[in-house]
Amino acid sequence: MPCQSSDELKKLVKEARTVTKHGQVADYIPALGKVNAHDLSIAINYPDGRCISAGDIERKISLQSISKVISLALVLMDRNKEYVFERVGMEPTGDPFNSVAKLESMTPSKPLNPMINAGALAVTHMIKGNSVDERFQRLLTFIRELAGNDTIQYNKEIARSEFETAHLNRALCYFLKQHRIIDEDVEQLIDLYTKQCAIEMNCLDLSRIGVVFALDGGDPQTGKQIMPANIARICKTFMVTCGMYNASGEFAIKIGIPAKSGVSGGIMGAVPGKFGIGIFGPALDDKGNSIAGIKLLELLSKNYQLSMF
Amino acid sequence: MPCQSSDELKKLVKEARTVTKHGQVADYIPALGKVNAHDLSIAINYPDGRCISAGDIERKISLQSISKVISLALVLMDRNKEYVFERVGMEPTGDPFNSVAKLESMTPSKPLNPMINAGALAVTHMIKGNSVDERFQRLLTFIRELAGNDTIQYNKEIARSEFETAHLNRALCYFLKQHRIIDEDVEQLIDLYTKQCAIEMNCLDLSRIGVVFALDGGDPQTGKQIMPANIARICKTFMVTCGMYNASGEFAIKIGIPAKSGVSGGIMGAVPGKFGIGIFGPALDDKGNSIAGIKLLELLSKNYQLSMF
Amino acid sequence: MPCQSSDELKKLVKEARTVTKHGQVADYIPALGKVNAHDLSIAINYPDGRCISAGDIERKISLQSISKVISLALVLMDRNKEYVFERVGMEPTGDPFNSVAKLESMTPSKPLNPMINAGALAVTHMIKGNSVDERFQRLLTFIRELAGNDTIQYNKEIARSEFETAHLNRALCYFLKQHRIIDEDVEQLIDLYTKQCAIEMNCLDLSRIGVVFALDGGDPQTGKQIMPANIARICKTFMVTCGMYNASGEFAIKIGIPAKSGVSGGIMGAVPGKFGIGIFGPALDDKGNSIAGIKLLELLSKNYQLSMF
Amino acid sequence: MPCQSSDELKKLVKEARTVTKHGQVADYIPALGKVNAHDLSIAINYPDGRCISAGDIERKISLQSISKVISLALVLMDRNKEYVFERVGMEPTGDPFNSVAKLESMTPSKPLNPMINAGALAVTHMIKGNSVDERFQRLLTFIRELAGNDTIQYNKEIARSEFETAHLNRALCYFLKQHRIIDEDVEQLIDLYTKQCAIEMNCLDLSRIGVVFALDGGDPQTGKQIMPANIARICKTFMVTCGMYNASGEFAIKIGIPAKSGVSGGIMGAVPGKFGIGIFGPALDDKGNSIAGIKLLELLSKNYQLSMF
């Protein structure tokens, strides 16, 4: 069943798109910069399989930080909760996503949460498998199942560019290694992590992953539990407390939807029990979130009373 | 209608009370230290007026940090949201509640959120009125209405002790004054703030305030909107993202109930649409939350599936 | 014996004055702003009583942070070294002079050194006497003896202005009080401290104080030991390691003279065994040091090989 | 001419050795731990070639952080001062030697000084040469000339152990790479840096290097200027302001001798114009300095009035 274009969504997209002029496209690697800053598209996926959309929802984007919440789900399935949360904390932080200062001042020196880079690297480190390839394939298989799309792949050019420039993430890894949070080869972990971040999909796929989280891990088609309900809930909680970088608190107050954003301009949202959302809007605000994507979610949340709070 | 003793709650209280031995009662002022570390009591207040309880729910406790969420509600009614959030942020922080370091490093230098001391002082500063007395009476009247109890007062001994020892809060105030977040006389603000923190009530009152938040600001008896729904929701959001000090993230994941704790050992909880909770358990964990109170909420949340997530 | 105008110094002053255009006069209180940004004057005082100068050396300036090194000397005479250095550290810091962050992160929470504001407040707190008046008079008498000038007074307007705006110093005081570094009334300490900072003198006086430090505490006229040699040496060491705010390291490398600067644009220098220097140049660089004063000292140090290193 | 055993030094060594029981030998790599915690030896080297000593001065130790001041001298000869100090600052810091927090908070993000690890890595990066081998040989040749000893080598076991465990230094390097302070391959730089730190010599050699610095770069035998005087002075200034880790300020006040310590328990001192000092005492205090070495220097400085201040 194809996703239906919605006039109402189109109207909201049009309104939200006006703020793109205040944002900026990430261009720390060339591949991310090759987009139209004024793009904005959205797909909404319902538990019954219905789908509505606006904008060019076929355009592929790399997951970037959105992948953090999915790798966390996989790792929580791979290991028990105690194991995972001994190595990464549960607390939001007022520091930037790539900060190392807190790592230094906290005792023990574990990353504050899985949504900052240091925590996400510790999580990816815990993905089970005998090789980078095997671990990556396990993650990819999981993501394909969540999205209900077997063709999802990663973008080799983006992965390679990020691998080459990931100096800060390497610094975080060595810091984690020093504090015995990780023990694998850093280049290997960076290889796996940059591939994870480079996994590509379109808004439809994103919204379908969202609906699985909205359904506490259940597959909307088959009803199969793709991940245990309590893991889906843990992920949604992190999406609320730290899913939108340093603007998570404001997002919770103004919008109140569990959501995770990425520097590519994507946002994956999960309205509990109701539907999943996939958004692409590459112009970012100063916190690194899609500026028009946030505006669009604000309009949606107000018009349809979607806040959890 | 009196609150009914519940065997089921008694059983949970008994189980939760076993952890009090790992906690410690706050004793930075003598008045707080005069309690039995093993106390634990709870009242649950339903929208229909029913109430169930366990333990000595008549014992009075001072609100301390629980008052922060109530003064925020009042100030949001006194001023518009823009005014308030220009002076205090919306973001959770991984720093301790009394830290000044972030104030120094952030630009602009406004407190990260209204639940840390610096933010709460900025909020109390915004309570309207021509004198400390008038502002305090307005807050007290609001609290009495929330609790449905006209006899609520503040504890003069606690207020005086806290006033005398509030050096760190004075430091925060002068920092806020330097950065033009507040402009009133610091001694006056500390006077008002320590009275606010010293307001006393029992678990029943606390649970009744909780049910008002659970009902988005509506009075369970009269249906009157004590505060606008959107303000009640903002408060509940802060309770989720930063209501339990530096353990808010973990609390959201494990328990998932909007709640605010105080150093006196009180916790006020609001299960959206369902009921309000008042807990008193003075033994604190290392983050400053009632150790048995958290255990009790964990048992309740698991047994009755109360998590929002 | 009057101070002789020196053509050589005039030439250096002329050259150094060219950089005043890159500096800015402090104007956080009006009284400090009432100066000509392009002023630059210097007096050099020799042990044998000779004095050479350039510029308008009769102009009076308030000591501001220059007073920190003098109050330290007095307190080291009032108390034993152990007592003093239990309450204030000996280590330079890369943080700004008014930072509170380090106070928070250090254990124990004592100020890193007596040249940052927190440390200077702790030092002034230790001046002996039964009242603010008595303590201030003792400091003033000491300063008059160092300068060989009985007419030195403090500027009431500057003291009052600073008292009114000293919010950050009050914040530091309450922080110190919380950590039991000080125990007196904060308003009283701020009163004493702002008077100390407002003590006024001209470049001649400054250079005479410098020569006493250069002579390890000896009076150049009478030979009397105004302060013990080891205390004069401690003061000179702090002047080298932290006398020029966050530029102390660079100053030590480029110039190598023990010196202390103030936000009024004054610099007091002590070339060990050789002479004392008094400089006034109100245009400040971004670290808060007299921009032309530093340039002038750089020229002097290079031309006459004055570096200690 | 052999170094003469001195009864007076022996007495001081005996007195200083009593404090070794309060210290601890570094054992983060096994090779460092293989020493007697109670060892203490000293050699003093005079400009005229005389040498006095006490203790087993033939024992070899690795330079560790002592090498930082020598690589700085070489780099200042290789490049101009402006080039070097654009990449590494001149300011002491109250933070630990291996901290990354300041790197993050400073603008621009350059290391505060060449004596902390981040700064020393930036300095080693600037050693000229076409390969690690060539750069290392240039440094080794320079060190041999300073020590007047052609047999000096590096300890392969120590270099290898440090290379394997240098996670924190790798983290610092990637941070520096992110901020464009360095641009070479990190493993290559760590290879060079760990070899530099593993260069081995005895106290005699150390004291001979000290006398070269004491003589502003001149060879005591030949009079040849091994390094320009102004570079020797810059190095001595850094030794005073940040040569003894976080205890540099206290060391300057109590002892007042330019000195640089290493985690192996070595200290190299340079009393300007007078003599060089080499000390080995592997038991460290909590700041990482030789506990008995510092005691010994304190006794020497007091008995012979060696303080510069």
Q: How far apart are CA A46 and CA A3, in angstroms?
A: 11
Q: Where in chain C is the domain with CATH 1.10.1500.10?
A: 65-197
- Residue C48 in this model has a pLDDT that exceeds 80: yes
Instruction: With beta carbons less than 8 A apart as the criterion, state whether B268 and B259 touch.
Output: yes
Identify the closest residue of chain D to C95 by CA–CA distance: D93
Token duo for residue B133: 């007395």
Specify the pLDDT at position D169.
Answer: 96
* Confidence class for position B179, pLDDT limits 50, 70, 90: very high
D164 chain-A contacts, CB cut-off 8 A:
none
Q: How far apart are CA C301 and CA C304, in angstroms?
A: 5
How does DSSP classify residue C45? E
Radius of gyration of chain B (CA): 18
Phi, psi of B138 (to 5 degrees): -65, -45
Specify the pLDDT at position A1.
Answer: 58
Domain at D4-61+203-211+229-303: CATH architecture = 3-Layer(aba) Sandwich (3.40)
Instruction: With beta carbons less than 8 A apart as the criterion, state whether C290 and C265 touch.
Output: yes
C309 chain-D contacts, CB cut-off 8 A:
233-234, 236-237, 240, 258, 272
Residue-averaged pLDDT of chain D: 94
Closest by Cβ to B94, choosing from A95, A248, A308: A95
Q: Quote the percentage of chain A above a pLDDT of 90.
A: 88
Render pLDDT for D51-103 as a digit per residue (tens, 0 to 9): 999 998 889 999 999 999 999 999 999 999 999 999 999 999 877 777 766 66
E-assigned strands of chain C?
A: 4-5, 24-25, 41-45, 51-54, 61-62, 153-154, 199-201, 259-261, 266-271, 275-280, 283-284
Instruction: With beta carbons less than 8 A apart as the criterion, state whether B213 and B235 touch.
Output: yes
State the complex-level ipTM.
Answer: 0.93
Render pLDDT for A193-229 as a digit per residue (tens, 0 to 9): 999 999 999 999 999 999 999 999 999 999 999 999 9
Mean predicted confidence (pLDDT) in C225-244: 96
Mean predicted confidence (pLDDT) in A139-167: 97
- Residue A69 in this model has a pLDDT that exceeds 80: yes
Q: Pairing mode, if any, of strands B266-271 and B259-261?
A: antiparallel
* Confidence class for position B100, pLDDT limits 50, 70, 90: low
- Residue C105 in this model has a pLDDT that exceeds 70: no
- Inter-chain CB proximity B240 and A309 less than 8 Å: yes
Q: How far apart are CA A301 and CA A256, in angstroms?
A: 8
Token duo for residue A299: 């309009």
**For residue D271, how many C-alpha atoms fall within 13 Å in the half-sphere facing its CB?**
18
Instruction: With beta carbons less than 8 A apart as the criterion, state whether B152 and B205 touch.
Output: yes
Token duo for residue A124: 């990816």
Mean predicted confidence (pLDDT) in C51-60: 93
CB-based burial label for C2 (10 Å; 0-12, 13-18, 19+): exposed
Phi, psi of B154 (to 5 degrees): -110, 155
Specify the pLDDT at position D37.
Answer: 93
**Of B67, B68, B195, B261, catalytic:** B68
Specify the pLDDT at position B106.
Answer: 64
* Confidence class for position A94, pLDDT limits 50, 70, 90: confident
How does DSSP classify residue C156? H
- Inter-chain CB proximity A170 and D170 less than 8 Å: yes
- C245 catalytic? Reply is yes
Mean predicted confidence (pLDDT) in C192-200: 98
**Of A263, A264, A290, A295, catalytic:** A263
Specify the pLDDT at position B95.
Answer: 73
Render pLDDT for B20-44 as a digit per residue (tens, 0 to 9): 999 999 988 888 888 999 999 999 9
Specify the pLDDT at position C58.
Answer: 87
| Among B85, B108, B111, residue whose Cα is nearest residue B98 | B111
| Among B192, B191, B174, residue whose Cα is nearest residue B109 | B174
Q: Where in chain A is the domain with CATH 3.40.710.10?
A: 4-61+203-211+229-303
Closest by Cβ to D94, choosing from C94, C249, C252: C94
Chain A partners (3+ C-beta pairs within 8 A): B, D
Least confident range of B156-170, B258-272, C25-39, C150-164: C25-39
Encoded amino acid at D297, one letter: L
Token duo for residue B28: 């930075």
- Residue B109 in this model has a pLDDT that exceeds 90: no
Specify the pLDDT at position A101.
Answer: 64
Q: How far apart are CA C155 and CA A139, in angstroms?
A: 72
Question: Cβ of B27: how many Cβ atoms within 10 Å?
Answer: 11
Cis previous bond, C108, omega within 30: yes
B272 chain-A contacts, CB cut-off 8 A:
309
**Mutation site for B-interface testing, chosen from C28, C162, C174 by largest number of B Cβ within 10 Å:** C174
Mean predicted confidence (pLDDT) in D277-299: 97
| Among A75, A69, A57, A65, residue whose Cα is nearest residue A201 | A57
Encoded amino acid at A115, one letter: M
Residue-averaged pLDDT of chain B: 94
E-assigned strands of chain B?
A: 4-5, 24-25, 41-45, 51-54, 61-62, 153-154, 199-201, 259-261, 266-271, 275-280, 283-284
| Among A303, A294, A266, A222, residue whose Cα is nearest residue A62 | A266
Domain boundaries A65-197, CATH class: mainly alpha
Long-range contacts of A215-218 (CB under 8 A, 24+ apart): A215/A47, A215/A273, A216/A272
Q: Quote the percentage of chain A above a pLDDT of 70.
A: 97
**Of C41, C53, C62, C65, catalytic:** C65
3-state secondary structure of D304: helix
Q: Tokens 């001072």 map to which residue? A: B62
Closest by Cβ to B168, choosing from C105, C170, C178: C178
| Higher local confidence (pLDDT), C98 or A298 | A298
Residue-averaged pLDDT of chain A: 94
State the pTM of this model. 0.94
**Of B65, B71, B161, B290, catalytic:** B65
Q: How far apart are CA A44 and CA A27, in angstroms?
A: 28
Mean predicted confidence (pLDDT) in D263-284: 97
CB within 8 A of B214, min separation 6: which ones?
B47, B270, B271, B272, B273, B274, B275, B276
D178 chain-A contacts, CB cut-off 8 A:
167-168, 171
Specify the pLDDT at position A34.
Answer: 86
Identify the closest residue of chain D to A166 by CA–CA distance: D178
Q: How far apart are CA A138 and CA C221, in angstroms?
A: 86
Specify the pLDDT at position B31.
Answer: 84
Q: Is A193 annotated as a binding residue?
A: yes
Encoded amino acid at B299, one letter: L
Q: Quote the percentage of chain C above a pLDDT of 70.
A: 97
- A46 catalytic? Reply is no
Rounded to the nearest angstrom, the minimum Cα separation between C292 and chain D is 20
Instruction: With beta carbons less than 8 A apart as the criterion, state whether C217 and C157 touch.
Output: no
Closest by Cβ to D237, choosing from C113, C272, C309: C309
Mean predicted confidence (pLDDT) in B210-226: 96
A242 chain-B contacts, CB cut-off 8 A:
92, 249
Phi, psi of D272 (to 5 degrees): -50, 125
Q: How far apart are CA A80 and CA B256, in angstroms?
A: 20
Q: How far apart are CA D122 and CA D126, in angstroms?
A: 7
Give residue ranges of B with CB < 8 Å to any A CB. Answer: 89-95, 102, 106, 112-113, 233-234, 236-238, 240-242, 246-250, 252-253, 256, 258, 272, 307-309
Residue-averaged pLDDT of chain C: 94
- Inter-chain CB proximity C171 and B167 less than 8 Å: no
Identify the closest residue of chain A to B113 by CA–CA distance: A249
